[in-house]
Amino acid sequence: MTIVLTPYWSNGVQKLKVAPQPPPKPARGLTPPVLDESIHYRRCLAQLRSKDKGIEKYIYLSQLKDADANMFYKLCLNHMSEITPLIYTPTVGDACQQYSHIYRRPEGLYISIKDKGNVGKVLRNWPKIDDARISVVTDGSRILGLGDLGVNGMPISIGKLSLYIAGAGIRPSATIPICIDVGTDNKEFLEDPLYLGLRQPRIPQAEMHELMEEFMHEMSVVFPHLIIQFEDFSTDKAFAFLKAFRDKYPLFNDDIQGTGAVVLSGFLNAAKISSAASGRPLKDHKILFLGAGSAGVGVGMQLMSFFKLQGLSEQEARERIYLVDSQGLIFDSRGPMAEHKKFFSRKDYNGPPMKDLVDIIDYVKPTALLGLSTIKGAFNQPVIETMSALNPRPIIFPLSNPVRLSECEFHEAVEWSKGMVIFASGSPFPQQEFNGHTLYPGQGNNMYVFPGIGLGSILARVSSITDSMIEAASLGLANSLTEEEHSLDLVYPRIERIREISAGIALAVIREAQKNGVDRSIDLRKMPDAALLSFIKSKMWNP
């Protein structure tokens, strides 16, 4: 038996610890006589493909991860495009809705309002405290586009961390999925005898903030090396908690910042294709959003970076972005509105309320239409045709998840734009044949950026995650396409290259953290880029 000692720092002192050992193989007689690893890999893949429903495949993969994590992640890495939609969107939406019915065994950490005052004690029950490096935290109040799912939101945290492991090589023992249960306002779940969460309405905002203050403080004490990702908090809480804690702890909100980063990246590439067709300069693009929640406003703020990169001022960049909510175009004289919507509220329109999307498109004349509304079919034929009449290559990004809430589907956008659409969606769609050409949809999946953000933040041991680090991740993704991918007019790289992409993003994030002075791994500052990239890849866990 070989014992490997690895160095680590504790309170400024370098110490040694025993590196984790792979579990021993079962003794002879405890497995069939001919159990070959490569054959068993084929067996597991065949079992997965024998299931005919996404939720059944999800259940099978969950059981496989529990029984044989190495095999689970081998399947993920070798069949990324096939398995990602099963462990994350769109299938994870069904898994959340049915979580209390398909539950098998505990996974993750649950903090409830009943633990208030004792949160630290509960956190210390986690069995691998010293290994913990990254956590995804949700309160289940706005899961995807499905609303308040309460404790049934836990599969979101689990699924995201599976993608950190598969996409960036974070060690499985370093991850902590967490669900904060403060009740639910979902009447169906409160009446469901199998529901696993507290049977009470959600607590008031003031009490929630007190719990989060305690939770975040105790997390920093119990897990001093932890990066935290907030996931699927309702819009008001998402903005409030990000603002309250981002300067105190190393954290980011994937719905606000991650979505914004991945959309900015796709838009950078889409805008170049669109401008090449129209002859317009990049700074002349206009973006119209349908949906003004945390994701819509967060993406809008991130897309301001696109215009600032073209030389526009912050105010000029803001004026290139228009938002539409359930009451139509957002403008100042419309009346009272939620605080987060005011940032993009128009000051240059004082007419009557404008609610019809086609009318709004005719008025704004956008080059890009982005959907974060969760309204199925919102981008209908008149909408796509109007966008196509205004632009030789219209940019259409229906980003709502899951598929059944997407503003339009790829085949519709292709047909109604006569094959000219530049398309990216939140959930996957199949490629389409049109006039003898194969057209490929982009998928603006956050998994392109958050694994690299997490990996870079862990390796740099950052004290906080800055906006410029998120922007660096976005630019890193935008620049990761190969010549072949550019030739096919893709706006995102192929997901099969996710490890390579994540390493490049981690490099960009580390360098930006160093510029911002928030890194604590000072030895990395001396490394040239090539050496640092090799170091990053060496730290990726492989099954």
The two tokens of residue 322 are 């228009």
Radius of gyration (Cα) for the chain, nearest Å? 23
Give strand pairing partners of 180.
Answer: 111
Q: What is the DSSP letter of 29?
A: T
Q: Is residue 144 a contact partner of residue 137, using CB atoms and an 8 Å limit? A: no
CA distance 338 to 512: 33
Give strand pairing partners of 433.
Answer: 438
Which residue is catalytic, options 73, 160, 164, 492?
Answer: 160
The beta strand positions in 57-170, using DSSP E, are 109-112, 134-138
**Binding site annotation covers 142?**
yes
Catalytic residue at 88? Answer: yes
The beta strand positions in 149-221, using DSSP E, are 175-181
**Binding site annotation covers 94?**
no
Give the 3-state secondary structure percentages of the chain, helix then strand then coil, rounded to 5. Answer: 50, 15, 35
**Binding site annotation covers 133?**
no
φ, ψ (nearest 5 deg) of residue 370: -115, 135
Which residue is catalytic, options 58, 88, 448, 492?
Answer: 88
CA distance 336 to 342: 9
Classify burial at 265, counting beta carbons within 10 Å of its beta carbon; exposed 0-12, middle 13-18, buried 19 or more: buried
Q: Is residue 400 a contact partner of residue 374, using CB atoms and an 8 Å limit? A: yes
Q: Nearest-5° angle of CA 280, CA 416, CA 418?
A: 65
Terminal Cα-to-Cα distance of the chain (whole angstroms): 20
The amino acid at 488 = L
**Binding site annotation covers 385?**
no
Residues tagged in the binding site annotation for a divalent metal cation: 231-232, 255
Q: Known catalytic residues?
A: 88, 160
Q: List the binding residues.
A: 142, 231-232, 255, 401, 445
Binding residues for (S)-malate, by number, are 142, 401, 445
